[in-house]
């Protein structure tokens, strides 16, 4: 199966509100705490450990050390082994959790850990500004 990650005009709408407890259940306690801090404070930088935990959860092959120890310019596909399926899963999960919309052409611009952290911060900031 070849998941389509090519540029398209399709934007995935965020679905109905999700069960946050169920969505967060598999993330480690520190990431859950960070998410709750973000939810209470609106501080988008609190999401960084949440993003790393989501990546840890969907990474096809477990990395040899925690993703937090990797440099910001580490590439998701070439260095960490993400494939289009796993990226799609990360996108869907993140959209649902953070109530944001991520277009295919946006996500293919995201190549590194820093790109992703910055991208999510920006998308959430835009959403909070509305």
Partner 1 sequence: MTPLPVITGLGFITSIGNDRATVLRSLRELHHGFERHEFLGNPDLSVKVAGTVKGFAFPTPNWRDWRWPGEFSVDRELLRGLAPHGVYALCALQQALTDAGLAPADLTDGRTGLFCASAGSPFLLGHFLNQMHANRGERGNPMGIVSSIAGTLNFNLAAHYHISGAVCGFVSACASSSHALGYAMDEIRLGRQQRMLVVGAEDMTDESILPFASLRALSTNPDPATASRPFDVRRDGFVGTGGAVALIVEDAALAQRRGSRIYAELAGWGQAGDGHSVAASHPEGAGLGAAMRRALADARVNAGDIDYVNAHATSTPAGDRSEALALHAVFTAAGAKPRISSTKALTGHGLSLAGAMEAGFCALAVAEGFIPGAAHLTEPDPVCAGLDLPRASLDEAPRLVLNNSSGFGGSNVCHLLRRPS
* Binding site residues, partner 1, CB under 8 A: 1, 3, 12-16, 26, 57, 59-62, 85-86, 88-89, 92, 96
Looking at the Cβ atoms of 48 and 96, the one nearer to partner 1 is 96
Closest CA to 12 of 98, 90, 104, 86: 104
Q: How far is the CB of 43 from partner 1 (least distance, A)?
A: 28
Looking at the Cβ atoms of 46 and 104, the one nearer to partner 1 is 104
Looking at the Cβ atoms of 44 and 52, the one nearer to partner 1 is 52
75-99 burial: b if 16+ Cβ within 10 Å, else e: ebeeebebeeebbbbbbeebbbbbe
From residue 96, alpha-carbon distances to 16, 26, 41, 70, 126 in Å are: 8, 15, 19, 26, 16
Q: How far is the CB of 123 from partner 1 (least distance, A)?
A: 17
Q: How far is the CB of 60 from partner 1 (least distance, A)?
A: 4
């Amino acid at each position: 199966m070849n998941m389509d990650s090519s540029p398209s005009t399709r934007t995935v709408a965020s679905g109905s509100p999700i069960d946050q407890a169920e969505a967060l259940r598999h993330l480690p306690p520190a990431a859950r705490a960070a998410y709750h801090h973000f939810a209470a404070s609106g501080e988008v930088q609190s999401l960084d450990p949440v993003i790393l935990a989501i990546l840890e959860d969907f990474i096809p092959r477990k990395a040899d050390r925690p993703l937090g120890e990797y440099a910001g310019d580490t590439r998701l596909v070439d260095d960490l082994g993400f494939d289009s399926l796993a990226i799609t899963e990360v996108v869907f999960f993140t959209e649902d959790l953070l109530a944001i919309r991520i277009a295919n052409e946006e996500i293919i611009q995201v190549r590194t850990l820093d790109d992703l952290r910055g991208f999510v911060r920006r998308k959430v900031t835009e959403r909070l500004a509305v």
